[in-house]
Structure 1
């Protein structure tokens, strides 16, 4: 089970008023890879002030088809129409293409279909464009730390894909990220949504069991019996951690599994140091109540 990729928090800009019928919501059952590029495209369209009628006139596509594309309705869209719509909305096409191609494979499209879908656009004959300087600097600053967080939930291949998707989505949404209250918080929301969309879930909660085999405590043990006991304790801990609210879970993963100090966690999450400490305190109390419940008093024992 996967958690749908949620669009990043709004930048605070009021949506532009537009005449005509309101664009409907994205279908809830589209794949996470499809949603990874569709949500930023929808956000750019909604902020642009343009109407579907205007886009239809400019692109020579039926308004109904554009509406379906922006809602994830019908067959997976060919690159030509996505490319043309992106050009009208001034969306950088290289990260969009990377996400579109990945989603095409998720939609079970063949390599031949993908190649035929792109043959009439310049995307395959031109070098990738370069992301904004601020985006590249931000990526260099946080990528290693983002990878440590993702590693707690995903295997190496899935971790690398999630990181690539995160920075492509941020590239598509970079103006919104800069306009948001805190770019770090905006970016963390994108990372978290991307990681959770690929994380196995049980009963609606993310599974952390793979992290049990990467803890510092486990790696330092030498006796087989100690390994078994530590794995059992770790699995119990991570099962309990999965029940934490999202913001508390993030803090505990960064603090207890990744080994970050509170001020580093604050910088990564884009939240105050006081909030990080409060989240950790409440999470620790909850985990202690689950893993080490108080013994009943003698008078209450049946």
Structure 2
């Protein structure tokens, strides 16, 4: 399998669910909390089970399960998340990692996290390794995902964002396979995960860290040349941050990561023609910003 050949999706069936429809996730749920809650909700909605079914099986009140699946109230303890995941046949290892990160984001202490898991298993023998095609996909794209994340984040944040991406994909792997293009689904997960960690200014992601790790800079040895190139790069990155998301991703992969158009097409799950079109439009915009035409004689003061 190559990035050009996405994994084959399995058959999916939908089952009508009696009873009241589950409400949406409340707006104040943080990004780390959503990282595991979205896949949990989607798995529940695809399962055909009702809240009453889950309540009977895990022995928690139906109202409490509904609140958990909507992100209402206090951050949930691991015990109920684990029991729901077991009933929904979800892998609990990536779920636990995402749950514990979100707990810290919710200002829970390490003692609280430890107490939550003291009496509840974190792992089960059948859920300690991702599916084979997930592992193969990760091997194919992980290095490129890290390079993309490096353009926005420092090393620790980069590694965490990419690790979270593959945990989220593990939890929602059936949905990824059933999507129009697994590569596109996975890229959207990566982008969302990276952007939630990226500093923004005026609603635009900052790319300043990338100025010190570009392909061009790596080829320069003269300190003066490097200083000049950094100044030019910072100006370029400010302009790149103003691009639409698809054009920004293409330019980061092409200009900062040095990836070929064919590789970018495979990573983003988009046709090669779309990649080349995005690059052309982005290049024209950047040239208009960085190298504006001189004023005409009639407009000269």
TM-score of the superposition, structure 2-length normalised?
Answer: 0.91
- Tell me how far apart the structure 1 counterparts of residues 15 and 193 of structure 2 sit (CA, whole Å): 27
Supply the distance in 2 between the matched residues of 1:183 and 1:130 (Cα, whole angstroms).
20
User: What CA deviation, in whole Å up to 9, does each residue of 1:124-144 have, x standing for no partner?
Assistant: 686961111111111111111
* Offset of residue 204 of structure 1: 1.1
2:138 corresponds to: 139
SS in 2 for 1:95: helix
1:222 CA drift (Å): 4.2
Does the CA contact (< 8 Å) of 1:242 and 1:249 recur in 2? yes
Unpaired runs of 5+ in structure 1? 1-10
| In the alignment, structure 1 residue 94 sits paired with structure 2 residue 93 | yes
For residues 268-287 of structure 1, the C-alpha deviation after alignment (integer angstroms, 9 at most, x for no partner) is 11111111101111111111
Matched, 1:82 2:81: yes
Aligned to 1:150: 149
* 8 Å contact from structure 2 (residues 90, 171) kept in 1: yes
Is the counterpart of residue 110 in structure 1 residue 109 in structure 2?
yes
Q: Is the 8 A contact 1:33 1:103 kept in 2?
A: yes
Q: CA deviation at 1:14?
A: 8.1
Residue in structure 1 matched with residue 7 of structure 2 by the alignment: none
Alpha-carbon shift at residue 69 of structure 1 (Å): 0.8
Q: Assess if the C-alpha contact under 8 Å between 1:17 and 1:49 holds in 2.
A: yes
**Bigger mean CA deviation after superposition, 126-135 or 55-64:** 126-135
Q: Deviations over 1:168-222 (max 9, x none)?
A: 1111111111111111111111111111111111111111011111123233334
Deviates more, 1:28-37 or 1:150-159: 28-37
Q: 1:271-286 residue pairs with structure 2 within 5 A?
A: 271-286=270-285
Stretch moving more, 139-148 or 116-125? 116-125
Structure 2 match to 1:257: 256
- Is 1:243–2:259 an aligned residue pair? no
- The structure with higher relative contact order (CA 8 Å, sep 6+) is 1
Aligned match of 1:288: 287
Give the drift of 1:12. Answer: 11
Q: CA deviation at 1:16?
A: 4.4
8 Å contact kept, 2:251–2:282: yes
Structure 1 moving runs of 4+ over 4 Å: 11-16, 124-128
Distance in 1 (CA, whole Å) between partners of 2:52 and 2:11 is 26
CA distance in 1, matches of 2:14, 2:292: 49
Stretches of structure 2 lacking an aligned partner (at least 5 in a row): 1-9
Larger displacement relative to structure 2 (224-233 or 256-265)? 224-233
User: Could you say if the C-alpha distance between residues 280 and 186 of structure 1 is closer, same or farther in structure 2, counting changes exceeding 3 Å?
Assistant: same
RMSD of Structure 2 on Structure 1 (CA): 2.0
Partner residue of 1:300?
299
TM-score (norm 1): 0.91
- The equivalences for 1:77-226 within 5 A come to 77-123=76-122, 129-226=128-225
* Paired position in structure 2 for 1:5: none
Distance in 1, matches of 2:108 and 2:125, equals 23
Alpha-carbon offset, residue 54 of structure 1:
2.1
- Asked if the contact 2:92/2:124 (under 8 Å) is kept, the reply is no
Which residue number corresponds to residue 8 of structure 1? none
